[in-house]
Each structure stands twice: as C-alpha cells, then as structure tokens.
Amino acid sequence: MSKIHCPGCGVRFQIGNKEEVGYIHEDVLLEDHNPICERCYKLKHYSQNILIQNNREETIKEVKQAVGNSKVVLYVVEIFDFEVSFDTAILEMLKNKKVILIITKIDLLKIHPTKIAAWVKERVRECKLDILEMAFISNISQYGINGVVRKIEKFYENNITMSVIGVTNSGKSSFIQNLLGGKTNLTISKFSGTTLKNVSQTMKDHNYKIIDTPGIIAHDRVIEHVCSNCAVKLTPTKLKVNDIKIKRENVFAIGGLAKVVAFSSHEETCVFEMAISNHVKTLSFNRKNWEKIDAEYIPEKITPPCEICKKRYTLLDKKTEKFFLKKGEELYIGGLAFIHAKYHAAEIEIEVPANIKVVKRNSLLRLSRVKVIR
C-alpha cells in the first residue's frame, strides 16, 4: 500500500485538519513504515470512534466503482440482518455480475450451518438473485473460510479482481482479513461505517486482487437511528434467545425502540421465542400505564436509546403494522429482533419508526433445536 492512502479505512491521508477523516501527524507519516490515520489508530487500539458523516450516495458511487472493476463480487450478508442486506442499490449493481454470497456471523445462532444454508437458499430464491455460489462462515471461529477459497478456485484459478461488498458492519473487512490469513492492515471495528473508501489487497497464492469496500448504510435498520454507542449495543456479540410472554392487556417494549402487542383467540397470554442482542433490555407494561408515559418519554430502565439519542428517536415518525403469525413463522424487526411464534399462532402488532423494515418469514429460530457441532 502506498503512503498516500490509509491501509485501514482507505481514505487519503491529510495533515492539515485534525477534525477531518484521513488526518495523520506529519511525523508519523514520515517515520512509520506502515502508517494509519488517527481515526483508524483510535479504533484499533482504544475502540474509540470518531464520528463522521457517512454519505450513502458517495458510498454507493465508491462501491459501484469497485464492482465495475471486478470479475466476481463477494456479497457479504450477516445472518442476523439478512432481511435488510438486500439493499436496492446493491441489487442494482449486481445485475449481470457473477456473485458469490457470503453469509457471516453464523456463530451468533445455535443452528447447524446446513440448516442455515437450506433456509438462506429458500429466502434467496424469493429474492430472485442470480448467485454462483454460497458460503456460510464465522469470522470469529474461522468456520468456512477455507471453503470460500475452494469455491472461488472452482471458477477462477488465478489473476482476477474481486470486490467484497455489503451493508455496513456485515463483516467484510474481517472476512478479507481471514482470507488473507490475518496479513492485512484493514481496520475492523464494532462501529458501523469503519471502512470509508475502497482498499485493494492481493492474495498472493492465487494472484487474486481483492477490494474491500465501504459498507452501504441500510436505513431500514434501527442502528441507523440511534447514536453510535447505542448502535454498538444493538449489534449482537451474542444473541439472547428467550421465551417472552405478552399478556393481552400489556405492551411489550424492546428497549425504547419497538413496542409489541399480541393477541390470540384462545390464550390470555401469548408466548413467543425472541432473539435480540444481549445488550437490549425489555419490559412489559400495562397498556394503560404505557399510554400515560409514552408521548415524549421512554422510561430510563429500558435502553437503548440512551439519554443522548432518546429525544431524536422518539421524534421519528412511527408506523404500526399488524401481522398474523402461524406457528413456525417469525417477524424480523430491522436490525433489532426476531420474534418467533413457537408455540401457537397469534396476531401481533408492532410499532416502530416508519422506515424500519418489519418482515414476516419462515422462522430461522425454529431451526435452533439441534445441537451444534462446532
């Protein structure tokens, strides 16, 4: 990598403005053999994020350029946010492209990879995507990484350019890091929007050129509407999968982010299985009490959102959607939760900000009974 661009995030170095991306102290730039920008340094060593304005249109332009130069696109989709990963801008770019779908973070679910594969294949068929191959991986345990290389080799022995694309935080840079046996300077962080520009790497054994790209912001995910600390809390490092009980007269609050009301023709209490990030708090409220406290106020106990982003979140336009879930179906709430009708059918009403995606689907959680061998 030349000394012109940061090998961590891809932006051009600059020494003039500490507040802008790409800033690096002149001495570091001159003396360090492998310099990285100050933002990457803080992300890597202190897990500290410097807030930057991430522009969706500029990012799309950058990713398009990488895709345009690539023979194959490795499309990275994380299993928890599967439904919001098929962004319209991405699908547009992938028209007439050879695509290998890489499903990451499968370690979050206690589901055997072959079952995840069957579920994904079914969902992808519904999305009408033309996919050359699929791989199911964990960047944490390295499960499936070698298999990806074999899949690429099957089609292209060497000398091709591939781009790695997807929505923010899906594990693109981690995946490249693993493909290259840890030998990259790419910055990986728990914060969304880490990579800012395209960064090229070479996989020497095969002479594959691999381009890391900035993640595309999916506005239909809750994390895009809270502060970066809350977004980290919402991004699961572990999934909490529990049974939840929602009484007929109650409102079930998922943090201060979504409200759930449920009805069943037979039962006073509806029971669901729910998966959420281990940092999200939930509480049941009597509906009358909730209406009193709801208007501009979310009780402190139920976070996220935190005190800083609560006001902004409560002011967002909301929508209420009703779904009838048959036993074995589940709702996916954009970047927030899976709610699975595990025991009986139920009608369920969700209130979330208007642009958050809520989708009914065949349950992924229902596959999680089998003991995982990993």
Ligand X SMILES: Nc1nc2c(ncn2[C@@H]2O[C@H](COP(=O)(O)OP(=O)(O)OP(=O)(O)O)[C@@H](O)[C@H]2O)c(=O)[nH]1
Closest by alpha carbon to 233, among 164, 155, 302, 184? 302
Nearest approach, Cβ of residue 177 and ligand X (Å) = 7
As a whole number of angstroms, the distance between CA 79 and CA 150 comes to: 22
Question: Do the beta carbons of residue 180 and residue 223 sit within 8 Å?
Answer: no
Closest separation between CB of residue 360 and ligand X, Å?
26
* Rounded-to-integer distance, Cα 107 and Cα 369, Å: 15
Query: Hey, how many other C-beta atoms are within 10 angstroms of the C-beta on 366?
Result: 18
Give the tokens for residue 191: 């914060």
Size of the site for ligand X (CB under 6 A): 24
Whether residue 214 has a cis bond before it, omega within 30° of 0: no
**Site for ligand X, residues 113 to 152, rule: CB under 6 A:** 138-140
- Out of 163, 170, 264, 363, the only residue in the binding site for ligand X (CB under 6 A) is 170
Residue placing its CB nearer to Mg ion in the complex, 35 or 215:
215
Q: Taking a C-beta distance cutoff of 8 angstroms, is the pair 271, 345 a contact?
A: no
Of Zn ion, Mg ion, ligand X, none, which one sits near residue 63, judging by CB under 5 to 8 A according to partner kind? Answer: none
Q: How far is the CB of 198 from Zn ion (least distance, A)?
A: 13
Nearer to ligand X, 176 or 270 (CB): 176
From edge to edge, which strands make up the β-sheet containing 358-362? 239-247, 269-277, 337-340, 329-333, 358-362
Between CA 14 and CA 106 the distance in angstroms is 38
Vertex 227: Cα angle to 223 and 233 (nearest 5)? 60
**Which H/E stretch holds residue 283?**
strand 282-286
**CA atoms of 304 and 298, how far apart (whole Å):** 10
Question: Which residues contact Zn ion by CB under 5 A?
Answer: 6, 8-9, 37, 40, 226-227, 230, 305-306, 308-309
Residues 191, 188: Cα–Cα separation, whole Å: 9
Our CB check for ligand X shows the closer of 138 and 363 to be 138
Rule CB under 6 A: say whether 169 interacts with ligand X. Answer: yes
As measured in angstroms, the least distance from the Cβ of 117 to ligand X is: 15
**Residues near 7 by beta carbon (within 8 Å), at least 6 away in sequence:** 1, 34, 36, 184, 185, 186, 199
> Closest CB to Mg ion among 198 and 363?
198
Binder of Mg ion out of 104, 194, 198, 264 (CB under 5 A) = 194
Q: Does 198 bind ligand X (CB under 6 A)?
A: no
Bridge-based pairing state of the strands 358-362 and 199-203? unpaired
| Binding segment (CB under 6 A) for ligand X, from list 15-23, 29-37, 185-193, 326-334 | 185-193
HSE at residue 83, side-chain half, CA atoms within 13 A, is 21
Which of 172, 233, 259, 357 forms a contact with ligand X (CB under 6 A)? 172
Residues 6+ apart with CB under 8 A from 232: 190, 191
Closest CB to Zn ion among 27 and 92? 27
**368 scored as a contact of ligand X (CB under 6 A):** no
- 192 interacts with ligand X by CB under 6 A: yes
Q: Find the binder of ligand X among 21, 24, 77, 188 (CB under 6 A).
A: 188
Q: Is 193 in the site for ligand X (CB under 6 A)?
A: yes
Q: For Mg ion, which stretch binds (CB under 5 A), given 38-46, 172-180, 302-310, 325-333? A: 172-180
Choose between 139 and 195: whose C-beta lies nearer to Zn ion.
195
Mask for 204-243, x = binds Mg ion (CB under 5 A): ----------------------------------------
Out of 7, 22, 35, 171, the residue judged to bind ligand X by CB under 6 A? 171
Q: Which residues of this chain interact with ligand X, rule CB under 6 A?
A: 104-105, 107-108, 138-140, 166, 168-174, 188-190, 192-195, 214-215
Q: Which residues of this chain interact with Mg ion, rule CB under 5 A?
A: 172-173, 194-195
